[in-house]
Amino acid sequence: MPRSTIIGVMGGGTASSHDLENAYQLGGLIAQNGWVLLNGGRRAGIMEASAKGAKSLGGLTVGILPGESRRGTSAFIDIPVLTGMGNARNCINVLSSDVVVACPGGAGTLSEIALALKSRRPVILLNFNTGNAFDAYREQGLLHHATTPEEVVELIKKLLTRDAL
């Protein structure tokens, strides 16, 4: 049985309606392509929207949760992983993902981007401006930008082919 491709979707626990709609659409596109969606698993923001989008089209969702209980877990998460690690769970999020998609968020999302890049995981920023902090990774072909969920999926396909993940 071939290994499943895991796409990590990271982003803020609070987000604009536009960013939530993008996350929902992205989740659906991930499911349509037969990929597994992995996120922070909580019932909030980008996590909830992307998982809901994936589930709306029959996708499989994994949530890497910060605590030791399922309280606050999104109803759209199939496999909740309880870590008891708080923010340290960000390492699990990115190391378990073949490609990381970062939607707008705060310090937690920035830490996931940094961890992913340092671990040589490709990152796609969906309407998320991180300034020039990660320019060296852009030059190395690890950091990419997209403005629509459809553009994200096209980039993922190119990255999966290029890196033969």
Q: Can you give the residue ranges of every domain in the chain?
A: 6-163
Task: Please give the structure tokens belonging to residue 59.
Answer: 């996708």
pLDDT score at 92: 97
pLDDT at 52 over 60: yes
Which CATH number fits the domain 6-163, given the four candidates 3.40.50.1370, 3.30.160.60, 2.60.370.10, 3.40.50.450? 3.40.50.450
pLDDT at 165 over 80: no
| CA dist 29 → 44, 82, 152, 157, 161 (Å) | 20, 26, 9, 12, 18
**Cα distance between residue 119 and residue 138, in whole Å:** 14
- Could you count the other beta carbons within 10 Å of the beta carbon of residue 78? 14
Helix, strand and coil in the chain, % to nearest 5 = 40, 20, 40
**Predicted confidence band at 1 (pLDDT cuts at 50, 70, 90)?**
low
Give the H/E segment covering residue 158. helix 149-163
pTM exceeds 0.75: yes
